[in-house]
Amino acid sequence: MSNSLKQRLGKGDTITGIFCSTPAPLMIELIAAADFDFVIIDLEHTLIEGQQLEAMILAARSNGLSVLVRLPENALYRSVQLLDAGAEGLVFPRVSTVQQAEQAVYQCRYGTRGARGLNSTRDNHYGRDNLADYVSEANSQLLLIMMIEDRTGVQAADQIAAVDGVDMLLPGAADLSQSFNFPWQTSHPEVQAAIEQIHTICQRRQKGFCALPRNQQEQQAWLEQGVQCFVAGDDRGICRRALTAVVNDFKEMVKKHV
């Protein structure tokens, strides 16, 4: 197995992904056709079911699209299922303590580094490959991302980033704004200061940082600070904005001919 996303980050490439909340392999194919580098299938805010999810993972893999999955909160038991199904990595929401981060890593690693159960899986060709070699490679290729989404998580971010096996932190500006009592004010100075604090911690700990810019100015600012990994938003919001732009163009054209 190989994790092209982790390899590209290691080479210093800049990569762009998107959350997918639409329960359809077709949406995954569209995301791949749009030339995104990775997709995060979102199970936290959706009702995507098992067979749909597996088909979406397969659609990503068959189109050369790196696929991660965001788990529902308090759903560590699903980690093994998702990794066995072929996810390159997992995104854990609302990580507020070092204990949560340690448990997430422990559930996802094989051997002395964790408690992931051994089985024949898609990535080892259902037992065809040397399983001892696979265990070692799977541990090294796994990408684990912790989302920091509240004040407590910000305070513990340095400890969370220090956990061996945590690869990247992703601040969730929307939920951070709620935690700081500024709901949906993602550009509020206190929220932005918390996000910058997380970025600084990642730099010091030599861990990845994933930015979720809300506009081009934010994206440019992160690029200037050397950030490599970006999430462009959620497929539903992006589709709605694209559809609105199309229909508004048509309506403007109609007005000119009335």
Q: What's this model's pTM, rounded to 2 decimal places?
A: 0.96
What pLDDT is attached to residue 4?
A: 83
Q: CA dist 13 to 8, 223, 226, Å?
A: 5, 12, 11
Residue 147, both tokens: 């989302």
Q: What letter represents residue 59's amino acid? A: A
Nearest to 208 by CA among 168, 242, 243: 168
Helices (H) and strands (E) in the chain — how many of each? 12, 8
Q: Tell me whether residue 45 is one of the annotated catalytic residues.
A: yes
Determine contact, residues 109/117, Cβ cutoff 8 Å: no
Q: CA dist 245 to 32, 204, 229, 240, 248, Å?
A: 22, 42, 27, 9, 5
CATH, residue 157: 3.20.20.60
Determine contact, residues 108/79, Cβ cutoff 8 Å: yes
Per-position pLDDT tens, the chain of length 258? 566 899 999 999 999 999 999 999 999 999 999 999 999 999 999 999 999 999 999 999 999 999 999 999 989 999 999 999 999 999 999 999 999 999 999 999 998 889 999 998 999 999 999 999 999 999 999 999 999 999 999 999 999 999 999 999 999 999 999 999 999 999 999 999 999 999 999 999 999 999 999 999 999 999 999 999 999 999 999 999 999 999 999 999 999 987
What pLDDT is attached to residue 112?
A: 84
- Residue 23 CA from chain centroid, whole number: 17
From the list 45, 125, 188, 199, the catalytic residue is 45
Task: Give the number of domains in the chain.
Answer: 1
* Residues spanned by the domain of 121: 4-256
